Chains A and B, each alone.
Chain A
Amino acid sequence: MHLDLAEELARIVGARFVRTAPAELGTFASDGLPTLHRTPALVVFPGSTDEVSRVLALLAARDVPFVARGAGTGLSGGALAEAPAALVTLTRLARIRRVDAANRRAVVEPGVVNVALSRAAAPFGLMYAPDPSSQTACTIGGNVAENAGGPHCLKYGVTTNHVLALEVVLPSGAVVRLGSPGGEPWGPDLVGVFVGSEGLFGIATEITVRLVPVPPQVRTMLADYTSLRQAGEAVSAVIAEGIVPAALEMMDRSAIQMVESSVYAAGYPADAAAVLLVELDGRGGAVEADARLAQAILVRSGARAVRVARDAAERERLWQGRKKAFGAMGRAGADLVVQDTVVPRTALPDVLEEIAAIGARYRLRVTNVFHAGDGNLHPNLSFDASDPDQLARVRAASAEIMRTCVAAGGTITGEHGVGLDKLAYLPLVCGPDELGLMAAVRRVFDPGERANPGKVLPTGAAAAGLREWRPWSAS
């Protein structure tokens, strides 16, 4: 049935760039979320904005839904497509069109890998600040869709604070430009509402981002604690002192043990209850002064030791444990669910204890590796997905963790998005009026609801209670 669609797509992008063989489709059936798998009807790889536009126009004419895909590292199932949906993969759109040093910005295609942009900007003394831990793989397009964060977003802000303008192909195939090259909106802030829209509004085909100067000096330190609670309290103490660390990350005992017993061993004290990785950046004297202050606060807050990296190599090593923690965890259990919730920073000590209790109750190993400075938790659950009982326990524990964080004044996702994984939990933080309005806003961009169908917003029976919003022109 899709043969002629595939042929017509091939006429647009070339036969090489349309895949329909089941074995090939299988490789696109997963993203970074291990618990869900979906197989698309076909995969198409457009190579230009014009091709994206013609592909989407054709899919519109055939009333075929589609899902945009970057690198497929998303952790909420956002890049999964189920037949009859087509998967539109953007990895060929990987050119950095311009690094404009005088204006501290860059214009990129969506398939550019996050770290490649910072590399291209480095000769100009600039970098792209949002740095998801997946930055060596994930794409800027995926970052825009998820409003991705990263360790250094504590100081520099998340993706939405760095996107100035977008070229978007709407699900109809129409090409629109949102925002302006300087970042000032044209009318309402359509760039702002597009960022974080998880592929529901169409495909971003060109992205203009801000770049920031590479800090000349970086100081990284590791504080180790014998109590998880003390480590949590130290986070607030550092921030309260007026220090703005470039990053403030926490790893608990389970994470330390996993890292230290893996090939990524970073020399973390294996008997610590938690470590804090604190990074300060800026110019020499400023970093020096803040580092002294931070060290004093960490010691005062109960750190057993504070180790300051003496050189770049030691710094790399301290970060390696943090950045490779997910890889290390992958080894520990067959599968890993990376949770992602946010709480007010001062609630961290209590919430961490509650999460530990939830893990114990469901007999699951919980490993915390997270952006502590932002209160953005990643309680990770190790399990064996082939065991239905474990899978059920993981789901129940995840739900309890989310409820706990919402009750503490937080939210169900800070950077990984809702996708498919958190569909059922969005009502914990958004009421029927808000959800109904979100669905209506989505239909302004995508009247047929063909872009990333079934993601983020409740559909079918779950949508029954949502308020219906109609524009005045229609009412």
Chain B
Amino acid sequence: MTTAPRDLAELAELVRRAAAAGEALAPRGSGTWWPDAAPGARPVSLAALDVISDFNPADLVVTAGAGVPLGRLAARLAERGVWLPLDPPGSPARTVGGALATGSGGPLAAHYGPARDHVLGLVVVAGDGTVLRLGGRVMKNVAGLDLAKLVIGGCGAFGVIAEAHLRLRARPRTDRTAVWLASADRAARVAAAALAAGAVPAALEVMSPPLAAALGWGGGGEREWALAVRALGNAAEVAEELEMVASAAGTPPALALEGEAPWTAWRETVGTWPVVLRVGAEPAAWPEAVALAAPHLGVTRGPAAASVTVPRGTVRLGAARCAPEAARVLRAAAAARGWPVTLERADAATRAAVGIWGALPPATDALAHDLAGLFDPAGCLGGRGEGAGV
């Protein structure tokens, strides 16, 4: 049975009771990203916490309930000429709370950073029902410890996000994307050359042939990796940015696209991957990270479904399923290079078997475990099981 608290007070009361009764809860946003809740945990829908309570375009701040769908938030912001440069994969129904809880960024993280860089403050319900107000609504704030960082990307283990104060930007006047199709080697060389020349694009995403083909940008052949560069700003800025990448490439782009549409398509397409793994590599090491991961994802022929946010070194890989043993081997190989592998998306059974983060380095594990235990003293947010697996 799903419960859907209508406001913060009801949510806090619900968590308090569950904690007292030793009951496990599984907070949910739209339910489109993590498709199901852990068995034995009571789903708690946050869909009713869908109020945009405070919106100050002139201060570039908005306060949105956890249940506000990202698509609706974007539309509301656009009416006033501002935007939130946070574009995680998935449907526009994905919620603010869900995106922050998984900590996901998207291609725009290349320039604007992942979810954590957009959050000024959070209202969170800890695992015993205590309402925590972390951070604030101003651009800079170092008053006390920055506890919100643990909640963002904490996958629910550090409390239920009820509301977020988000930092906005003025909407850029020009939005253009150029796409080159090339072999993986050449895509890597062009990306490296563009960055070495000083490129600062809003997004610089390399997509493997299956993804590029799904977006209608190529036929899926080995030499049809897509290097998509998005430039935002005033017209001159956008032109200069794309020219810089074009000169690094030595050829004009195969495609020149306007506006947000291609990236909405990227979000929706990556949102169809049942399992998404995220490898955190160094920017220049992405080809190695893709090669390292592919054999463990059940890909027998051709390249895996992959999308790389090059300036951040974030490598996203899609698969139909993920076996625990394969994930363990991949994680061990990645760990030897210093790369974490996060299970960004999967069904509950896979999450439980594979673990969202896998085994953490021992010292980190002890800290993470003790911290999660503080925020979730009764263990009702799955600090010990689902959520984080810490």
Contact = CB atoms under 8 A, between A and B. Distances in A.
Interface of A: 100-105, 125, 146-147, 149, 153, 157-158, 160-161, 174-178, 180-190, 192-193, 195-197, 200, 212-214, 216, 236, 239-244, 282-286, 288-290, 342-346, 371, 374-376, 409-418, 422, 426, 429-431, 433-435, 437-438, 440-442, 444-445, 456-457, 467, 469-475
B191 to A, nearest CB: 11
B373 A472 contact: yes
A14 to B, nearest CB: 28
Interface string B258-291: 0000000000000000000011111111000000
B140 A188 contact: no
B370 A196 contact: no
Nearest to B244: A283
A271 B378 CA distance: 63
Given A102-B192, A182-B281, A189-B153, A473 B373 contact: yes
B371 A286 contact: no
Contacts of B236: 283-286, 288-289
B367 A445 contact: yes
Given A187-B357, A471-B373, 12 more contacts: A184-B278, A188-B371, A190-B367, A197-B146, A212-B200, A283-B241, A286-B240, A345-B58, A426-B144, A437-B375, A456-B144, A472-B384
A72 B289 CA distance: 42
Contact of B132 (A102, A105, A216, A437): A437
Nearest to B239: A285
Contacts of A343: 138
Interface in B126-172: 126, 130-134, 136-147, 149-150, 152-154, 157-158, 169-172
A462 B140 CA distance: 26
B59 interface: yes
A431 B123 CA distance: 13
B136 A188 contact: no
A324 B268 CA distance: 52
B60 interface: yes
Interface stretch (B40-48, B68-76, B296-304, B307-315): B307-315
B390 A410 contact: no
Interface stretch (B219-227, B321-329, B338-346): B338-346
A473 B363 CA distance: 17
Contact of B138 (A157, A289, A410): A410
B327 to A, nearest CB: 15
A345 B138 CA distance: 8
B96 interface: no
B133 A431 contact: yes
Interface in B74-132: 81, 103, 113, 116-117, 126, 130-132
A441 B278 contact: no
Chain B CB within 10 Å — which of A100, A146, A175, A286 has the most?
A: A286
Given A102-B283, A104-B311, A189-B103, A344 B59 contact: yes
Nearest to B312: A183
Given A183-B280, A472-B378, A429 B144 contact: yes
A473 B375 CA distance: 12
A244 to B, nearest CB: 7
Contacts of B384: 472
Given A242-B173, A410-B136, A196 B146 contact: yes
B210 interface: no
A125 B368 contact: no
B343 to A, nearest CB: 12
A285 B243 CA distance: 12
Contacts of A158: 140
Interface in B189-240: 192, 195-196, 198-200, 233-237, 239-240
Nearest to A410: B138
B26 to A, nearest CB: 18
Contact of A216 (B198, B234, B371): B198
Given A102-B283, A190-B368, A414-B141, A176 B56 contact: no
A188 B356 CA distance: 11
B113 A161 contact: yes
B170 A240 contact: yes
Interface string B323-361: 000000000000000111010000000000000010011
Contacts of A188: 150, 153-154, 157-158, 368, 371-372, 388, 390
Contacts of B372: 188
B364 A430 contact: no
B374 interface: yes
B138 A342 contact: yes
B31 interface: no
Given A160-B146, A471-B373, A472-B373, A415 B234 contact: no
B376 interface: yes
7 contacts: A102-B284, A125-B198, A216-B198, A240-B170, A414-B141, A426-B144, A473-B373
A433 B132 contact: yes
Contacts of B192: 102
Contact of B371 (A105, A244, A441): A441
